[in-house]
Amino acid sequence: MSALPCVVPELVLSSNIAIVGSSGNLSSSDYGQEIDEFDDVIRFNRAPTSGFEKDVGSKTTLRVVNNHVFNNNDISKEGYTNQPKDFVRNLRNTRILYLAEDINPFANRATNTDKSNDLYLFDYDIMPQIKKAFDNVGESNLTLGVATVCLLILNKIKPVLFGIDVEPRARDHYWELRPPPSGYHDINYEQKLLVELEKQNLIEVKR
């Protein structure tokens, strides 16, 4: 068991961790049972499990969210086809890690999430250090998935990745269509980084 650095309050995770992304490559993967056998299962934003258990499992021990999701914003106008607005507000008994730089989620906790949830805050000031450690000197922002992968590696944890693309493919989510890339994230760089991390045996990638 390890406490993640730069997260308050202290967040303890096992070393047996599945990171479950949102890629369409999870469709018809039959990974659900394997995912649920991990001690910790990390999911992101509004990625659902209900109705998709056969491929993505049902277990979630930590959900990492950005500002749009934590604030329960409606992003359907951006081209997403299935993003329930009140997803975080409707979560119960869930550990939520807020990974964004613009607000303090504790100040908005009463309106944004149920009191049964445990809320954690990532110190975004160390993001440049994470990017530097993994040779990303560009201006793009890391996706939640890759930022979490890097954070675990820096804490000497080797995660197993499901539903995180390491090669170019159609970028729909396993449960919805999504809009074209906005350029906010450098997906090509991140895929190359993940391939290199896999070669170094720092991560395991399920394809």
In this structure, how many other beta carbons lie within 10 angstroms of the beta carbon of residue 54? Answer: 13
Is the pLDDT reported for residue 28 higher than 60? yes
Distance of alpha carbon 4 from the chain centroid: 15
Task: Answer yes or no: are the C-beta atoms of 58 and 78 closer than 8 Å.
Answer: no
Specify the range with the lowest mean pLDDT, choosing from 37-41, 138-142, 175-179: 138-142
Is the pLDDT reported for residue 171 higher than 70? no
Number of structural domains (the chain) is 1
d(CA 132, CA 140): 12
Is the pLDDT reported for residue 25 higher than 50? yes
Is the pLDDT reported for residue 137 higher than 60? no
- Averaged confidence pLDDT in the chain: 84
**pTM tops 0.75:** yes
Q: What is the CATH number of the domain that holds 103?
A: 3.90.1480.20
For the four alpha carbons of 41, 12, 96 and 126, in that order, the dihedral sign comes to negative
What is the pLDDT confidence band of residue 36, given thresholds at 50, 70 and 90? very high
What's the pLDDT at 17? 98
Percent of the chain with pLDDT over 90: 45
The structure tokens listed for 89 are 């507000």
- Choose between 128 and 195: higher pLDDT: 195
Q: Are strands 160-162 and 17-20 parallel, antiparallel or unpaired?
A: parallel
- Name the residue range of residue 182's domain: 2-206
Q: What pLDDT, in 10s, does the model give residues 44-93? A: 998 999 999 999 999 999 999 988 788 777 655 555 555 677 888 889 99
